[in-house]
């Protein structure tokens, strides 16, 4: 007499890889893709991670479908409608949506705004040492790691939160009135409330 488990379908449940990859992706989005300026390295890392994740997900799905079709025992099989396979695409989509809509960036800024405002005030009052011509040792201001501080003649304070990138660096700029001043091809985007702008330092 066959046991209760013999030949019975073993439904797929998201395993350690699915949960780990999903958690790692959300952590990646929250820490690196929520910065005031997403550097080239962070973008490239997200692209490589995403491609590896997609290929791995497709390979696992294909093997499970093949195993179910062939009736190979001892292999986890997808539920009808492969509902549980939607975990990873759903988490990936949520992460991309949060990044694309600036939700994570605004949340990080909101939590850091008091510290940022205090930092700008101290820079304008001259109580924080910095050299506008070179980077200073990294210092934490709220949830941002600041590599460079600049105080322009129009009282605009600019800070770089992504440094040592292969391409453009970037961060935040606070202007007293209107769009911040700049040099060369510096670029500003009104992504944040109050006096704050997203800032890209071009070479």
Is residue 91 domain-resident? yes
Check whether residue 76 and residue 46 sit in a common domain: yes
Q: Is the pLDDT of residue 9 over 60?
A: no
pLDDT at position 63 is 80
Check whether residue 119 and residue 196 sit in a common domain: yes
pLDDT at position 19 is 87
pLDDT at position 123 is 94
Q: Is the pLDDT of residue 68 over 50?
A: yes
| C-alpha to C-alpha distance for 37 and 51, rounded to whole angstroms | 22
Share of the chain above pLDDT 70, in %: 81
Of 66, 101, 136, the position where a domain reaches its end is 101
Average of per-residue pLDDT values in the chain = 81
Instruction: Evaluate whether 171 touches 162 at the Cβ level (below 8 Å).
Output: yes
Question: Among 46-60, 118-132, 167-181, where is mean pLDDT lowest?
Answer: 167-181
Q: Tell me the two tokens of residue 30.
A: 């929250």
Check whether residue 94 and residue 144 sit in a common domain: no
Is residue 52 domain-resident? yes
| C-alpha to C-alpha distance for 142 and 111, rounded to whole angstroms | 7
């Amino acid at each position: 007499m066959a046991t209760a488990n013999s030949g019975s379908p073993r439904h797929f449940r998201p395993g350690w890889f699915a949960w780990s990859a999903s958690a790692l992706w959300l952590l990646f989005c929250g820490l690196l893709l929520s910065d005031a300026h997403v550097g080239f390295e962070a973008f490239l890392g997200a692209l490589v991670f995403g491609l590896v994740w997609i290929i791995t997900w497709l390979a696992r799905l294909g093997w499970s479908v093949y195993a179910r079709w062939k009736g190979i025992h001892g292999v986890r099989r997808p539920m009808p409608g492969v509902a549980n396979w939607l975990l990873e695409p759903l988490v990936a989509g949520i992460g991309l949506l949060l990044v694309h809509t600036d939700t994570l960036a605004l949340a990080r800024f909101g939590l850091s705004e008091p510290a940022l405002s205090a930092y700008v005030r101290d820079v304008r009052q001259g109580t924080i040492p910095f050299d506008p011509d070179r980077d200073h040792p990294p210092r934490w201001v709220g949830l941002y790691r600041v590599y460079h501080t600049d105080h322009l003649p129009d009282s605009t304070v600019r800070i770089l939160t992504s440094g040592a990138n292969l391409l453009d660096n970037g961060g935040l700029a606070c202007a007293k009135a209107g769009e911040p001043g700049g040099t060369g091809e510096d670029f500003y985007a009104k992504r944040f409330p109050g006096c704050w702008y997203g800032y890209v330092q071009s070479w």
